[in-house]
Amino acid sequence: MFYLVIVLLNIATILCMQEGDPCTLPNSQQSECRSLLKCPSAIQLIQNQKIPQTCGFVGTVPIVCCILKENSASDTTPTSNKFVSYTETIAESTTHNTALRNIPESESERSDSKNSIVSNLNSYTEKTTGNKSYEKCLEYSNLVKVSQQPPILFIEKEEVEVISCGFKIMPLIVGGVQATRKEFPHMALVGYGSSDDIQWTCGGSLISELYVLTAAHCLDHRQLGNATLVRLGVTAINDLYHRQDISILDRLSHPKFEYPSFYNDIGLIKLAKAAVFNEYVRPACLNLQQNITDTRALATGWGRMDFEGDSSENLLKVTLELGDAVICNKSLNREAFRRKLKEGIVGDTQICAGSQGKDTCQGDSGGPLQIYSKLDCMYEVIGVTSFGKACGIGRSPGVYTKVSYYLDWIEENVWE
């Protein structure tokens, strides 16, 4: 155990480095800090029972010092006693830290320490739910960084990288207000009918260049037919300046969705061409946690302002309280909703949310329920709007399909 602590202390001497920073390996090969999931040379080391040099962590994912150009002669470590030789190399590459090399260890202690660390790192190289989603989330978060000329004079006019964000993280205060431009760049309108008479009756979330996440019941409309068009980049529905209208190539509902039941109410729209990412159009992240600890979340959409009202021309946002499934089931009229949810709300696959006089209304179906991400200027979609009792009547909750439960299905169809 003491040996493990010493190893981690040696590794920790460079934990302040970030993805993209240059780093130095003992063999002096050109290297930079990268996610372990994106570094073949580090994965190879782990498979050979060695520990890669660590730069830091993003969440729980290690950032490692990754060789940029592979060298076939780079791995000359003898096959015997691999762990000791590599940890000694790490120690030599740190600043004046000789503690590791001066502590006598038994072979069993070395083996236990090695297995513990390698086992931890191995967990990130195996196919696990959410790995691909998190990797894409990191990729999309880089889209908020833009190069700008500093507002001062330099001898050499070097550009600097800054965060260009359409919103500021604020406390989530219950109440509905109009969203601002660029605040929710992943928002999508889903339309039905011909281009000269399009009806926008559902929403969705852009999650990649080619895919929009929505509700399964939004893929086709009982009166209007199949969804035909997606509009991106707008807060006002008829904004002419930043919108991207893209035809729908394919619609995919979850295989266990069976209308009129609203269980497994989640679907994917494949676009006929890739969306162009900019300040107004950028994918959202997918939430990976089955147990959501947040108590509030943001719902967004162009839905009706009230039960008998017209749809909003502008994108609206509302903060909702996340409720317990048991409590929410009691607040729903079981007779009225037996056709949609025969067994009531299922906590593993659904979320209920609402506040006094507030919930998402008709027209918001398919849109996101989201929380702030820990990454700069990103949201995590935790739910897909399925249905509500009636727009903001009493304490009626809305029902949302829980995204984390369906990550395997989403990843297989979007990124495989």
Residue type, 82: K
Helical H runs in 155-308? none
Q: Round to whole Å and give the CA distance between 268 and 223.
A: 20
List residues bridging with 227 in a β-sheet. Answer: 192
Does the annotation count 265 as an active-site position? yes
Q: Round to whole Å and give the CA distance between 176 and 112.
A: 55
Does the annotation count 217 as an active-site position? yes
Picking from 192, 232, 391, the residue whose alpha carbon sits closest to that of residue 299 is 391
DSSP codes, 304-368: BSSTTSPBPSB-EEEEEEEE-HHHHHHHS-HHHHTTT-TT---TTTEEEEEBTTB---TT-TT-E
- Please, which residues have CB within 8 angstroms of residue 149's CB and are 6 or more apart in sequence? 157, 159, 160
Residue 287: C-alpha distances to residues 164, 207, 291, 292 (Å): 22, 11, 10, 9
**Out of 133, 205, 253, 265, which one is annotated catalytic?**
265
Any idea which residue has 């240059």 for tokens?
Answer: 22
DSSP codes, 124-152: TTS--TTHHHHHHHHHHHGGGEEEE--SS
**Out of 113, 355, 365, 386, which one is annotated catalytic?**
365
CA 349 to chain centre: 18
Q: What's the full length of the chain, in residues?
A: 416
**Out of 35, 141, 217, 396, which one is annotated catalytic?**
217
Residue type, 199: Q
Is residue 414 within 8 Å of 207, Cβ to Cβ?
yes
Q: Give the phi and the psi of residue 333 in degrees, each rounded to 5.
A: -75, 105
CA-based max dimension of the chain: 79
List residues bridging with 268 in a β-sheet. Answer: 213, 252
Instruction: Determine how β-strand 54-58 pairs with β-strand 175-178.
Output: unpaired
Does the annotation count 35 as an active-site position? no
Positions marked active-site: 217, 265, 365
